[in-house]
């Protein structure tokens, strides 16, 4: 997904973090191009002091998932990555194990980290060695080291890093410097500045031949373990391996401050809202409204598919989107909604991302009475409460079938705007509400 006329950094492709099934990356760059084993080490033992939050940033939640789960998924979806070792502090060991189980991560091994970043990385590398009766993970040819708080890494860039590491022994991501770097005196005055065009910022991911980076850590001094920050430097200093540096995309940014968590949530919400599926019955009125919605939401840059009730019963429509609009004229529509909720639950579709389900009831009678609307509101709230426990956000909209082409177009436009806003915001506080258009 390319930025459209602004400077907001976004993932290059929604599949970068929205693949439903592990390894389901058909058609993505690099699939099947690796003929050597690759594993990942994610150091996740930091305290996240700069966010100003009590919870370490890698475990902070948005859209009902901790940040580290998004990062794991970015690697887990890549078919040629065999194992992911997550290194955590002792206090967060049980939490990390629970995250792996709750969100169905399959390639992950959780290990106990050390007191510093380099010690934790070394612990992650040692997981492939095994001790005594332990059954070690398969030692990879190439290992990728990445920050647990950089969730938007794309497969095509991982491919470049892995191949360069295989060929050169080490590789790393770099980005242009945004600001000029200056040196200051001990009194706090300007000493000198660096010529920015000659320097780059070192980023993650970084790739290494496993034997090279492991031997580098074996030879590390206590000062390296305590104060070092750059893995590429260790490979150069102790193994003489000069890394191939590759300029990475702007989406490699790191969640450092509290505001970055909101930015990450916004990016994911925007990407989730790119597509929707309208589920409709066979009556002419609901079909007409479905096509009108498709046209208006399409004008808002949303890809919309229309699925009939017959196809819906097969469950094949689920993989199309995380947003569903159920259009009906039936007063017993909540039974259909409950069936959809059960379908989402049985398929596990709402495990990784909240599913938005909007019930649009077209009132083809003269007008619904207040008592009928209140009864419908109560019923929607009951279903929405249960659905929300399953990470399904249910909203209700009652649309009067007004007479006259101009008034009807206005009603459809209002419906489209409300629908798009509900899908984009994914606000749990509004679930169970009945909006009247």
Q: Closest by alpha carbon to 262, among 63, 430, 420?
A: 63
Does residue 281 contact residue 335 with C-beta atoms inside 8 Å?
no
Residue 15's pLDDT band (cuts 50, 70, 90): very low
Which pLDDT band, with edges at 50, 70 and 90, does 14 fall under?
very low
Residues 277 and 209 in one domain: no
Closest CA to 25 of 85, 82, 80, 106: 80
- CATH of residue 316's domain is 3.40.50.360
Instruction: Report pLDDT for 362.
Output: 84
**Cβ atoms within 10 Å, residue 128:** 19
Enter the tokens of residue 201. Answer: 């910022």
pLDDT digits (tens, 9 = 90+) for 164-200: 999 999 999 999 998 888 999 999 999 999 888 889 9
Per-residue pLDDT tens over the stretch 97-148: 999 999 999 999 999 999 999 999 999 999 998 765 556 799 999 999 999 9
Same domain, 280 and 370: yes
Predicted pLDDT of residue 310: 55
Mark which of 267, 282, 308 sits at the end of a domain.
267
How does DSSP assign 393-415, residue by residue? EEEEEEEE--SSHHHHHHHHHHH
Among 113, 106, 386, 118, CA closest to 226: 118
Paired tokens of 357:
């389900």
Q: What is the pTM of this model?
A: 0.87
Q: In this structure, what CATH number is given to the domain that contains residue 31?
A: 3.90.550.10
- Asked whether residue 152 is domain-assigned, the answer is yes
- Give, as one character, the DSSP assignment of residue 264: H
pLDDT at residue 412 tops 70: yes
Cα three-residue angle 25-30-35, rounded to 5 degrees: 110
For Cα atoms 285, 291, 296, give the angle at the middle one, nearest 5 degrees.
125
pLDDT tier at 364, thresholds 50, 70, 90: low
Q: Are 255 and 67 in contact (CB under 8 A)?
A: yes
pLDDT given at position 196 = 87
Co-location of 234 and 303 in the same domain:
no
- Give the domain range for residue 359: 273-436
Decide if 252 contacts 153 (C-beta within 8 A).
yes
pLDDT digits (tens, 9 = 90+) for 64-94: 999 999 999 999 999 999 999 999 999 999 9
For residues 348-356, average pLDDT: 94
Please check whether residues 308 and 248 belong to one and the same domain.
no
Q: What percent of the chain has pLDDT over 90?
A: 64
188 three-state secondary structure: coil
258 shares its domain with 350: no
Q: Does residue 237 sit in the same domain as residue 334?
A: no
Q: What tens digit of pLDDT does each residue of 201-225 get?
A: 999 999 999 999 999 999 999 999 9
Distances (CA, A) of 45 to 96, 135, 243, 366, 425: 11, 24, 26, 62, 31
Is 209 in the same domain as 98? yes
Q: Is there a domain that residue 70 lies in? A: yes
Q: Which of 267, 291, 320 is the last residue of a domain?
A: 267
Q: Span 301-330, mean pLDDT? A: 80
What distance in Å separates the CA atoms of residue 154 and residue 359, rounded to the nearest whole number? 35
**117 and 197 share a domain?**
yes
Report whether pLDDT(428) > 90: yes
- The whole-number pLDDT of residue 172 equals 97
Same domain, 310 and 222: no
Q: What is the mean pLDDT of residues 412-427?
A: 95
Distance of CA 51 to the CA centre of its chain: 20
Task: Give pLDDT, residue 79.
Answer: 94
- Whether residue 366 is contained in a domain is answered as yes
Q: Domains in the chain: how many in total?
A: 2
Supply the mean pLDDT for the chain: 86
Q: Say how many Å lie between the first and final Cα of the chain, rounded.
A: 33
From 267, 297, 323, the end of a domain falls on 267
Band (pLDDT 50/70/90 cuts) for residue 49 is low
Q: What integer pLDDT is reported at residue 122 of this predicted model? A: 97
pLDDT of residue 312: 56
Find out whether 82 and 140 touch, Cβ atoms under 8 Å.
Answer: yes
Listed in sequence order, the residues at least 6 apart from 89 whose beta carbon sits closer than 8 Å to its beta carbon are 45, 47, 112, 113
Residues 73, 122 share a domain: yes
Q: Per-residue pLDDT for 19 more than 70?
A: no
State the average pLDDT over residues 411-429.
95
* CA distances to 161, 316, 337 from 283, in Å: 54, 22, 17
197 lies in some domain = yes
pLDDT of the residue at 7: 38
- Whether the pLDDT of residue 26 is over 70: the answer is no
Most distant CA atoms of the chain, gap in Å: 82
Q: How many CB atoms lie within 10 A of CB 219?
A: 12
Q: What angle do CA 428, 66, 84 make, to 5 degrees?
A: 145
Residue 369: band (very low, low, confident or very high) from pLDDT cuts 50, 70, 90: low
Is 361's pLDDT higher than 90? no
Do 350 and 300 share a structural domain? Answer: yes
Q: What are 258-294's pLDDT values in tens digits?
A: 999 999 999 999 999 999 999 887 788 888 999 999 9
Query: Is 312 contained in some domain?
Result: yes
- Among 150-159, 295-304, 307-316, which stretch is predicted with the lowest mean pLDDT? 307-316
pLDDT of residue 400: 80
* 386 Cβ contact partners less than 8 Å away, ≥ 6 residues apart: 341
Residue 165 domain-assigned?
yes
Kindly list the distances between the CA atom of residue 403 and the CA atoms of 254, 282, 284, 331, 369, in Å, as whole numbers in the listed order: 53, 22, 16, 21, 18
Per-residue pLDDT band for 47 (boundaries 50, 70, 90) equals low
Residue 3 covered by a domain: no
User: Does residue 382 fall inside a structural domain?
Assistant: yes
pLDDT digits (tens, 9 = 90+) for 372-404: 677 777 888 889 999 999 999 999 998 887 777
Residue 163 has pLDDT above 50, yes or no: yes
Shared domain for 199 and 343, answered yes or no, is no
């Amino acid at each position: 997904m390319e930025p459209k006329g602004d400077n907001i950094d976004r993932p290059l492709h929604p599949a970068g973090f929205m693949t439903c099934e592990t390894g389901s990356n058909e058609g993505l760059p690099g699939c099947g191009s690796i003929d050597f084993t690759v594993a990942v080490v994610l150091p996740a033992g930091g305290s996240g002091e700069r966010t100003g939050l009590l919870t370490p940033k890698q475990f902070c939640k948005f859209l009902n998932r901790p940040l580290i789960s998004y990062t794991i998924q970015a690697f887990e979806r890549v078919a040629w990555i065999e194992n992911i070792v997550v290194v955590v502090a002792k206090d967060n060991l049980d939490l990390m194990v629970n995250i792996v189980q709750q969100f169905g991560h399959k390639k992950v091994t959780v290990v106990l980290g050390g007191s510093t970043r380099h010690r934790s990385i070394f612990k992650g590398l040692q997981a492939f060695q095994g001790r005594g009766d332990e059954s070690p993970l398969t030692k990879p040819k190439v290992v990728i080291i990445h920050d647990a708080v950089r969730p938007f890494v794309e497969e095509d860039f991982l491919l470049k890093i892995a191949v360069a590491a295989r060929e050169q022994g080490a590789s790393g991501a770099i980005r242009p410097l945004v600001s000029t770097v200056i040196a200051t005196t001990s009194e706090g005055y300007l000493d000198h500045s660096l010529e920015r065009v000659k320097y780059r910022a070192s980023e993650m991911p970084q790739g290494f031949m496993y034997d090279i980076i492991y031997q580098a850590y074996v030879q590390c001094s206590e000062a390296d373990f305590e104060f070092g920050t750059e893995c590429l430097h260790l490979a150069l200093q102790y193994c003489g391996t000069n890394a191939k540096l590759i300029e990475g995309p702007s989406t490699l940014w790191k969640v450092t401050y509290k505001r970055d968590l909101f930015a990450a949530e916004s990016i994911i919400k925007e990407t989730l809202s790119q597509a929707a599926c309208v589920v409709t019955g066979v009556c002419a009125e609901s079909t007409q409204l479905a096509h009108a919605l498709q046209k208006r939401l399409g004008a808002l840059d949303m890809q919309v598919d229309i699925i009939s009730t017959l196809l819906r019963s097969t469950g094949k429509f689920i993989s199309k989107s995380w947003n569903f609009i159920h259009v009906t004229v039936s007063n017993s529509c909540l039974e259909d909604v409950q069936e959809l909720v059960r379908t989402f639950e049985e398929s596990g579709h709402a495990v990784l991302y909240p599913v938005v389900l909007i019930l649009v009831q077209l009132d083809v009678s003269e007008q619904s009475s207040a008592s009928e609307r209140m009864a419908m509101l109560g019923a929607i709230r009951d279903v929405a409460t249960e659905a929300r426990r399953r990470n399904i956000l249910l909203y209700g909209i009652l649309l009067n079938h007004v007479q006259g082409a101009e008034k009807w177009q206005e009603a459809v436009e209002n419906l489209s705007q409300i629908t798009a806003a509900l899908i984009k915001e994914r606000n749990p506080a509004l679930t169970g509400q009945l909006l009247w258009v």
